[in-house]
Structure 1
Amino acid sequence: MCVSPTRFSRLAQLFAPVLVSIALSGCVSSGQQARPKGPDPYYVAMYGPRPDERFPLPATDISKADPRYLRQQVPYATYEPPGTVVIDTQDRFLYLVQDGGMALRYGIGVGKAGLEFAGEARIGRKAEWPRWIPTSDMVAREPERYGPLAGGMDPGPTNPLGPRALYLYQGDRDTLFRIHGTREAWSIGKAVSSGCIRMFNQDIIDLYSRVPEGSRVVVLQAEPPIGPPLDAPVATVADGAPLSF
C-alpha cells in the first residue's frame, strides 16, 4: 500500500511523541541496570575517612553492614527527656533522645552473655583518643591475651577504645563501663565485647560531639524502650566483674 508524502508527514507527527517516549524509557532502563550495587552514597560519605583526626582514620567498610545499624534519625517514643542516651542492648541500638518524639539512632555491639550492664548512669568523663588498660579481672580471665597489656596501651589506630570514649559513672564511682569506638566494624550488631558498648568509629565521634559530661545514660536489657524514668540509679553486672572494653 502506498502512502502519500502528506499523509506520511501527518503520521510521523502523530507518533513522534510515542517514539521519543519509548526511546527515553529504554535509556532510563539501561541506566538503572548499569547502576552499581552497594551502600547508599549518603552513608558512604557519612562513614568516609577522617584525615583530620590525631591518628587519621580510614573509611569504615559498611558494604556488609545491616542498614538498620547505620546512623539515622527515627521516631522514638519514650518518657526520657531530650539529651538522654538510651542503650537497647537486645536490639543493638543506641538512641540519643531528641525533641518532638525523635531520636538519633546508632548501631552498636554489646557485651557477651554474662558480662552485661543494666541500669542508669551518667557520662562522668569524655576522652579523645583514650589510653586503654585492661582490668585485673580481664587479665585473670585471659592472661595470655591481656597479661602483656596489663601496663596499658597507648592511643592509636589499634587501641581497642578507638578515637573516643565515654566513661560511665554512678555518683563518683567509675563503673568501668564504656561507650567507645572500634575498628572491628563487623562486630556492630553482635554480642562480642567484654561488656562495653562498641560503635562505628565515625559514630562515636559524632555522638561524642553531641553529649556533654553529666548526660544521663539508661542501659536496657530486655525492657521495652518506653517507660517512666526510674527514681534511683541501679546498675548490675551479671557476674560481679568490673567491665572494660
Structure 2
Amino acid sequence: MTKLTRRSFAAMAMASTAAACAPRVAEMEIEPPAPVSFVEGYGPIEDSGYILPGIPSEYLQGVNRRMTGWYNGEAEPNTLDVDPYAKFLYHVREDGSATRYPVGVGRAGRSIRGTATMKFMRKWPGWTPTQNMLRTEPEVYGDFRAGIPGGLRSPLGARALYLFRGSRDTYYRIHGTNDLESIGNSGSAGCIRMFNQDVIHLYNQIEAPMQVLIRSPEESQRVDPENFGRGIELPPKIISAEELLGEEAVANDRAPILDDA
C-alpha cells in the first residue's frame, strides 16, 4: 500500500475512467452522443430509490478526489481527522491506512475546532437552519426556518454525521452536498461538506460513535504544508424559496426508500 505523504497523494491523483455509451439509432443514421466518462468512484449511483448523477471531472482535478494509502497525520486510529485548512477529511483505520476525501468547510470564523464525537449517522436526513444561522444570515436561511425534509432537496445531501461534545449537540455536521463548487473551498456556514459519492462511501466504512479531530492551523502546517490554505473563500450561496419549496420542487421530490429506517 502506498504511503500517504503529500507527494504520494499527488502521484495517486490519476484515476481510471468508466465510459457509458448511448445506443445507436440505426434507422436515423445519426451519430451517437460522445461517451460520458467519469473518474472512478464518482459515476452515477443508485441509492435509496434515487439515481444520483456522476460528478463532472472538472470538480475532481488534482487532489480534489478520494484517495487511499498510508496515513501520516497525528490523529489516533479509528478516528476522523478533518483538516479545514487543506480541505481534507481522513478516515484513519486501525492498520495505519487512511482514505482521504476532499471537503468544503466553513467560511472564516465559522468552522468548528478541536475534538468532537460523531454520535450517530443518518441516510438522507432532513435539515432545519439553526437559530444562529437565522440570526446572522436571515437573507440566506430565513425562508427555510420550517426546515426541508430528507430527500433530494435537503441541503444535507445523501448522508449526515452528527457531531457532539459530551451530551451537547454542536449543530455541526459532516454531510453530502449538491454544491459541487464548494468542495475544496470555504463556503459553508460551518459544516463539513462532501461529494455525495464520498459521504456514501465514508458512511459505509464507519460506525458510530467515532472520535473526530478538527486540525488547528499549526497541525495542518506541520502535517500538510503543501496543501495548507488551498482553495478560496466563496460567498454564501442564496437559494430561492421557490427552488426548494415551490410546488414544482415539492412535486418532483419524494421520500427516500430507506432499508434501515
TM-score (norm 2): 0.67
**Pairs within 5 Å for 1:184-199:** 184-199=179-194
Partner of 1:211: 206
Name the SS of the counterpart of 1:69 in structure 2. Answer: coil
Name the SS of the counterpart of 1:113 in structure 2. Answer: coil
CA contact (8 A) 1:39 1:63 kept: no
1:121 has 2:116 as partner: yes
The sequence identity of aligned pairs, in percent, is 39
Structure 1 unaligned spans of 5+: 1-37, 228-245
Name the SS of the counterpart of 1:56 in structure 2. Answer: strand
**Pairs within 5 Å for 1:76-87:** 76-87=71-82
The alpha carbon displacement at 1:79 in A equals 4.6
Partner of 2:151: 156
Q: 1:53 to 1:60 in 2, by over 3 A?
A: farther
- Deviation readout 1:128-180 (Å, 9 max, x if unpaired): 00000001121122223311210110112221100000000111111001000
The alpha carbon displacement at 1:50 in A equals 1.4
Structure 2 unaligned spans of 5+: 1-13, 19-37, 223-261
1:89 has 2:84 as partner: yes
- Separation in 1 of the partners of 2:76 and 2:136? 39
- Range moving further from structure 2, 120-129 or 50-59: 50-59
Name the SS of the counterpart of 2:176 in structure 1. Answer: strand
CA contact (8 A) 2:75 2:213 kept: no
Name the SS of the counterpart of 1:127 in structure 2. Answer: strand
CA contact (8 A) 1:133 1:153 kept: yes
In our comparison, the structure showing a higher alpha carbon Rg is 1
TM-score (norm 1): 0.72
Match for residue 58 of structure 1 among 45, 53, 64: 53
The alpha carbon displacement at 1:98 in A equals 2.3
Higher relative contact order (CA 8 A, sep 6+): 1
The alpha carbon displacement at 1:45 in A equals 3.5
Partner of 1:131: 126
Counterpart amino acid of residue 45 in structure 1: E
CA contact (8 A) 2:64 2:102 kept: yes
- Separation in 2 of the partners of 1:88 and 1:142? 25
Name the SS of the counterpart of 2:155 in structure 1. Answer: coil
Counterpart amino acid of residue 50 in structure 1: I
- Separation in 2 of the partners of 1:208 and 1:48? 17
- Separation in 2 of the partners of 1:119 and 1:162? 25
- Separation in 2 of the partners of 1:154 and 1:200? 19
- Separation in 1 of the partners of 2:84 and 2:69? 17
Match for residue 41 of structure 2 among 35, 40, 46: 46
- Deviation readout 1:47-99 (Å, 9 max, x if unpaired): 11112333321112233422302111133224533211000111111111124
Partner of 1:221: 216
- Separation in 1 of the partners of 2:92 and 2:47? 28
- Separation in 1 of the partners of 2:220 and 2:148? 36
Name the SS of the counterpart of 1:224 in structure 2. Answer: helix
Q: 1:52 to 1:176 in 2, by over 3 A?
A: closer
Q: 1:44 to 1:53 in 2, by over 3 A?
A: farther
- Separation in 2 of the partners of 1:144 and 1:92? 27
1:75 has 2:51 as partner: no
Q: 1:163 to 1:50 in 2, by over 3 A?
A: same
Which protein has the bigger helix share? 1
Counterpart amino acid of residue 77 in structure 1: N
Name the SS of the counterpart of 2:39 in structure 1. Answer: helix
